[in-house]
């Protein structure tokens, strides 16, 4: 029970689609800079840290923007790789380093994207179930006990 209470005490922000993308990209970029300073740019540590960030992004996006989380997460992975990709020289060297890092560490990218997709699917199913429970069951409740005109016409005997 203490774990449940600790999880309930955590913040529960609701980010828009753009806000969740910016959150994920900023956190991944800052983590990559921190890893570059501390460990010389360990991409394995970056990949391990990418998984919980992608989960938080999928958990904190508001229900109306759920489908943006699986799109924002891979973009944030690429943005965060910039400081630790290992490219040298000018723009072309940095771009080649980024593409090489993306190709070599695609497993982390796919893993984080799958985590975000799974969380989004579960949240969407839960949201649809709540909406279904909140909706009235019969047409009589919606019309105040009267039978709607369209149903009366269908129920009338054919002449």
Residue 2 lies in a domain: no
CA–CA gap between residue 80 and residue 76 (Å, rounded): 6
- Counting DSSP H helices and E strands in the chain, the numbers are 8, 0
Question: pLDDT tens across 75-121, in order?
Answer: 999 999 988 887 777 888 888 888 888 888 899 999 999 999 999 99
Least confident of 49-53, 58-62, 87-91, 140-144: 140-144
112 lies in which domain range?
12-135
Q: Is the pLDDT of residue 49 over 70?
A: yes
Residue 93 lies in a domain: yes
What is the pLDDT confidence band of residue 48, given thresholds at 50, 70 and 90? very high
CB 56 within 8 A of CB 13: no
End-to-end CA distance of the chain: 67
- Length of the chain equals 159
Residue 157 lies in a domain: no
Alpha-carbon dihedral angle through residues 141, 143, 146, 151, given to the nearest 10 degrees: -100
Residue 152 lies in a domain: no
The pLDDT score that the predictor gives to residue 157 is: 59
Supply 143's token pair. 């019309």
Cα–Cα distance list, 128 to 63, 102, 118, 125 (Å): 10, 35, 15, 5
Q: Is the pLDDT of residue 70 over 60?
A: yes
Give the number of domains in the chain.
1
CB atoms within 10 A of CB 15: 21
Residue 115 lies in a domain: yes
Q: Which of 7, 137, 136, 131 is nearest to 63 (CA)?
A: 131
Residue 102 lies in a domain: yes
Tell me phi and psi for residue 15, to 5 degrees: -95, 150
**Global pTM?**
0.74
- Identify which has the larger pLDDT, 40 or 26: 26
Q: Is the pLDDT of residue 158 over 70?
A: no
Residue-averaged pLDDT of the chain: 83
């Amino acid at each position: 029970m203490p774990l449940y209470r600790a999880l309930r005490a955590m913040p529960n922000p609701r980010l828009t689609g753009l806000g969740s993308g910016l959150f994920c990209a900023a956190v991944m970029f800052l983590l990559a800079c921190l890893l570059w300073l501390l460990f010389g740019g360990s991409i394995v540590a970056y990949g391990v840290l990418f998984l919980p960030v992608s989960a938080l992004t999928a958990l904190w996006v508001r229900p109306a923007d759920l489908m943006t989380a699986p799109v924002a997460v891979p973009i944030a992975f690429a943005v965060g790789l910039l400081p630790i990709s290992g490219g040298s020289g000018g723009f072309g060297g940095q771009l080649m380093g980024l593409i090489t890092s993306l190709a070599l560490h695609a497993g982390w990218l796919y893993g984080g994207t799958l985590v975000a997709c799974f969380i989004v699917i579960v949240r969407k199913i839960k949201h649809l179930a709540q909406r279904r429970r909140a909706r009235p069951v019969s047409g009589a409740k919606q019309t105040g006990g009267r039978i709607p005109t369209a149903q009366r016409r269908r129920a009338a005997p054919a002449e």
